[in-house]
Amino acid sequence: MEREHYKFSLLPLPYDYSALEPYIDSETIYLHHDRHLKTYVENLNLALQDYPNLKKLTLEELILNQRILPDKIRQNIINNAGGVYNHNLYFQIMGKCSIKEPQGMLKKLILKQYSSMENFKALLKKTALSQFGSGWGWLTVCRSGGLRIISTANQNCPISMNLFPLIPLDVWEHAYYLKYQNRRTDYIDNWFNVINWGIVENHFDTFYKKGKI
Ligand code: MN3
């Protein structure tokens, strides 16, 4: 996934549309993945089609090198490359998982910084709820290896802030509106049940293996 560049493709959903029931309904997952994410992929490809030099860049490079993007397409690329990156990670780290919390080093770090899993979840929830309008809540890792919980507006991605994105929580209305309507709080409470902690821990390990963000 990381070395993928133009022409970007829609990554398949790594589970059935119904896999996250009853917490997230099949129709929401279908629309979110097959329509919303697909649109970000298509719009990113459209934005890049007349720029041969940019076609060689990966998603991460497009997000990190905003200064070299032509003014005419900069915001478009930020929105759509961020949209693809953020959603790829969001769908990847969800799934059916028998483990309800992390086990290894990640758990130690969470307990060290947030005292308990409950406090960690409460802070991520509060941060995501404080995001006015469309955006994301995140658990990220900073360069020093410490954890940081942040929110970002629209499709802004933590890698542009030198943070390694570990857990993305989509709080755009399209992520929950069909089932939860305006009850963003209920969506977030239920969403904690669909985090696949095994995948999150593998992803956390890649941060250390890469030795960089
Ligand atoms: Mn979304």
Per-position DSSP letters for 98-114, written without gaps between them: S-SS--SHHHHHHHHHH
- For residue 175, how far is its CA from the centre of ligand 1 (angstroms)? 5
pTM attached to this predicted model: 0.95
Q: Which two tokens stand for residue 84?
A: 């693809």
- For residue 32, how far is its CA from the centre of ligand 1 (angstroms)? 6
**What region does 7 belong to: left with phi over 0, alpha with psi -120 to 50, or beta?**
beta
Q: Which two tokens stand for residue 190?
A: 């239920």
Q: How many angstroms separate the Cα of 48 from the Cα of each of 52, 53, 132, 160?
A: 8, 9, 30, 19
- For residue 112, how far is its CA from the centre of ligand 1 (angstroms)? 31
pLDDT (tens, 9 = 90+) of the chain, 213 residues, equals 457 899 999 999 999 999 999 999 999 999 999 999 999 999 999 999 999 999 999 999 999 999 999 999 999 999 999 999 999 999 999 998 778 899 889 999 999 999 999 999 999 999 999 999 999 999 999 988 899 999 999 999 999 999 999 999 999 999 999 999 999 999 999 999 999 999 999 999 888 777 555
> What is the C-alpha to C-alpha distance for residues 12 and 91, in angstroms, rounded to an integer?
9
- For residue 115, how far is its CA from the centre of ligand 1 (angstroms)? 30
> What is the C-alpha to C-alpha distance for residues 207 and 211, in angstroms, rounded to an integer?
6
